[in-house]
Chain A
Amino acid sequence: GENVEQHPSTLSVQEGDSAVIKCTYSDSASNYFPWYKQELGKRPQLIIDIRSNVGEKKDQRIAVTLNKTAKHFSLHITETQPEDSAVYFCAGTTGNQFYFGTGTSLTVIP
């Protein structure tokens, strides 16, 4: 089955700096890659996603890039704010099962 690895496990940045979280996947058949944000004590919520026919997608301060050849995708957050502090999960799927990374705990220091 698919194996999704996520790095780093923890990340601290100064407010206003950028944050980058990287994930790799093993199954070349995976075609959908969502990113979820989970604030402390809250449910995970989708923040951005990308399909395998697209190389990059942007939504305001958040962007995701996908390199199908290298089988990796990344989340980029620019101009970080304290409310960006949360755990971020990447995932990959071929459609019938989601495989999640182990999460990145992001702390934005004011």
Chain B
Amino acid sequence: KAGVTQTPRYLIKTRGQQVTLSCSPISGHRSVSWYQQTPGQGLQFLFEYFSETQRNKGNFPGRFSGRQFSNSRSEMNVSTLELGDSALYLCASNRDIYTGELFFGEGSRLTVL
């Protein structure tokens, strides 16, 4: 059974640009959530999608957005990149976020110059 797959794994952007990250969940998993990981800040919740609907959103500015497709794959987009957006972006999937264990991808490491 394939795990959670995130692409790209690494990317470098400059301030003002935008970026799109992709996440393919484990087959059968309908909930996908996104987290930003930075040193000292832990895992900060961005948003969660289930069946193409955003059910929850964390305290991030509107520059951070996402969506989920009918096959449960999800994308997140960050527009007008700032230096502080440099981080590891992790996505996680499970059958439904109410059922427990999150399965994480390896993350997309974004560096903003």
B84 to chain A: closest CB distance in Å? Answer: 17
Interface readout for B73-107 with A: 1 if CB under 8 Å, 0 if not? 00000000000000000100000011011101111
Given A44-B90, A89-B42, A89-B43, check contact A97 B56 (CB 8 Å). yes
Query: Range of interface residues on chain B?
Result: 20 to 34
Decide if B100 touches A102 in the complex (CB within 8 Å): no
Kindly state the separation between the CA atoms of A102 and B39 in the bound complex, as whole angstroms: 9
Query: Range of interface residues on chain A?
Result: 20 to 34
Q: How many residue pairs, one in A and one in B, have C-beta atoms under 8 Å apart? A: 55
Given A42-B106, A43-B105, A44-B90, check contact A100 B98 (CB 8 Å). no
B102 to chain A: closest CB distance in Å? Answer: 7
Kindly state the separation between the CA atoms of A101 and B45 in the bound complex, as whole angstroms: 11
Decide if B43 touches A100 in the complex (CB within 8 Å): yes
Closest Cβ neighbor of B33 among chain A residues: A98
B61 within 8 A of partner (CB): no
Interface readout for A43-65 with B: 1 if CB under 8 Å, 0 if not? 11110010000000000000000
Decide if A43 touches B104 in the complex (CB within 8 Å): yes
A-B contact pairs, 10 of them (CB 8 A): A9-B40, A32-B100, A34-B100, A36-B104, A44-B90, A89-B43, A91-B43, A96-B98, A97-B45, A100-B44
**Which A residues lie at the B interface, using CB under 8 A?**
6, 9, 32, 34, 36, 42-46, 49, 89, 91, 93, 95-103
